[in-house]
Structure 1
Amino acid sequence: MADDSDLEKTEPASGRRLEQAREEGQVPQSRELATFILLIVGVTALYVLGRWGGHRLMHMLRTGLSFERAQAFDATGMIIALYDVAMEGLMTVAPLLIALVMATLVAPFVMGGWVFSTNILRFDLSRLNPMQGLGRMFSTHGLAELVKASLKAAVVGGVGTWVVWRERDHLFGLMLQPLEASMDEFASLVLFATLLIISSLALLAAIDVPYQLWEYHRKLRMSKEELRQESKEQEGDPQIKARIRAAQREMSRKRMMAQVPKADVVVTNPTHYAVALKYDPEKSGAPVVVAKGMDIMAQSIRELAKEHGVPILEAPPLARALYANCELDQQIPAALYTVVAEVMAWVFQLNHWIAEGGLPPEQPGSLAVPPGLDPAAGDPEAAR
């Protein structure tokens, strides 16, 4: 079943998946690269310390192993002498220890970065399951780690054995030389062997780093279903979003239709368009579009206007121009002030006639709009 699941995960990990893995403390790491960096830093520190460190260690050995017979029976004096030797040794190797600690902290940044996650410290009973432990041990990752550990042991052991065998006569001769000269020779041999080991580990790290990156991204691969599910979680279910948009449109439509009874006039195409205008000199300097619609919506606006006694004026070019160039709850553009002023004058006269009686006002004649504002100019079908 696990193999089938892995086969289904054919897609690269998304940015969110990589971020979650990092939050859980999962980052690409290469022990071989870290070991290589530690060795480089350690050898460099030893080289920089050079003769100073060697002389300090020799002085420590001489003073630590040289004492009077009476001192051997003085417990307090021996403790003080031991403390002095220990402090001198600690101060001698302190630069090396500091360099190694800094390298240990910096090495993770070379590849995956330094991450602290409490998830790693969380107690997990499954880690105590012997069957799962055997599974991890004999997994592809476990076998790869075993091969690398064997290679490292073979490299270190092989190089050490080869150097000792190659320099066996030289090593035996060191016992006949003065202490200072023999330590210099021995340090040179150790440095030579270490450089050979570092060169071998560099090759191993060069192989391990790409492998670890590949293995890390392979483990985080996702199936197409997981990608779809993540997309839904981040961006929302398309069906739910569609329902939300539909609900928002319906609410907007209801708010708009609630403004129709308050309008001063509705200008129609009469078939395709209907635009409701409201003019309140105390609130705005020009008439405002409070509702507009096409086809079925235009019909609903006309019916609601009739129901509430809102004047309806058939002016196709003006209706089209208002619909195309005006937004809801926005004032009409300055280019339409003149023609709309004629409409509002007619509305004023109509309201006066309804209140006072007399002769009904004539509807405005040719309400021509400025060139370019009528989107259907020259289109007989749209002019209906």
Structure 2
Amino acid sequence: MAVFKRANRKSKPWGFQYSYKANGISKQKTSFYKTRKEAKAAEAEYLTSTGGPVKIDPVITFADWYDKWLHTYKIRSVSELTMTKYATSGTIIRNYFKGLKLIDLTRMIYQQFINNYIDDGYGHKHARQSVQKLHSHAHQAIMAAADEGLIRRDYAAHAELGGTAGRSEDTKFLEADQFEKLRDYVDQFANPQRIALMMVQTAIYSGARLGEIGGLTWEDIDEKKSTISIDKTFKYRFVIRNADGSWPEREKVFGPTKTPSSVRTIKVSPVLIASLHKLILADRIKAISNPYHLLFLGPTDLPIYSNGVNKELRRALKHLGIERPGFGFHGLRHTHGSYLLYKGLDIQYVSHRLGHENVGITTKIYTHLLDAMTQKQDEKALNVL
């Protein structure tokens, strides 16, 4: 009995082969499938129907299996931040399924779980992206259970996903003229007494993520070359100062960037460099403990959290008369990229500057803008021809 893959076969490359006896004669039967999951499911079903050695655990709950899978396969392979997202999904799974045994899970029960997360009927609704993320986490655990032979098949394979539309494109980006007005505003008012506004200024000129900006140190700023080096993030969710006010070890303060490709050195405007120069001078004369030379220490002597920078951003937008309900700090990153593309910069350059894993991610994020630019190019082509 075996699951195998046929070489150079595009149509149903995965096979499941088993032996049986007919009239005292040993025979073999082979069935072929499109995917390995289908072949493994056939194997599990065969073992169950024939009383074979399926490793079904009649006791373990789905929630317990998810936790076991998470701490076996993910704890060493994902960042702490990603691990917290998986753990959050685990809490949602446990709250819904409670004591449901893994062996009692069915496709219908799983679909009801997804439906409830989309809209529980009591005013709690989730966006399509949130539904897809939860499903991705739960599905991985269910696939692992099927591979282990703990359940007969992957009951989440064909789940129908939905959810609200989420934020519109208008809440993710500023228009070019709005972006320029905001840039001019922060250039005028950002100073070492308004740390959150300086973080907004840094996001405008760099397109960096909040964690990347929070993790910037004096040494990351090269004033002569007008560059910023991004090679770490500040662990917003995990950093707690010691009881005596001292800092924990470096590995508890800084984490890796989102992906290896997020490590980058980028050119920035001399305007931002001059602003950061003033901040570094101010930091150096402060009588506070800052052993890691963090740039953006707020009133609590820690980098300002998202609530603080978003409050300062909303204040600036209100002052400028820019109405963008739902627009947040991360939107500055999206707007930075869209503004550069709008100004004609190459998408490959923008992708590298933002630290995207590949240019496909950049294309997906800025589809609306690229479509509009293509339309303009089409119009120019028609005029030329």
User: Which one has more relative contact order, counting CA pairs under 8 Å at least 6 apart?
Assistant: 1
Report the TM-score, using the length of structure 1 for normalisation.
0.15
Structure with the higher fraction of residues in helix conformation: 1
* Structure label with greater radius of gyration: 1
Report the TM-score, using the length of structure 2 for normalisation.
0.15
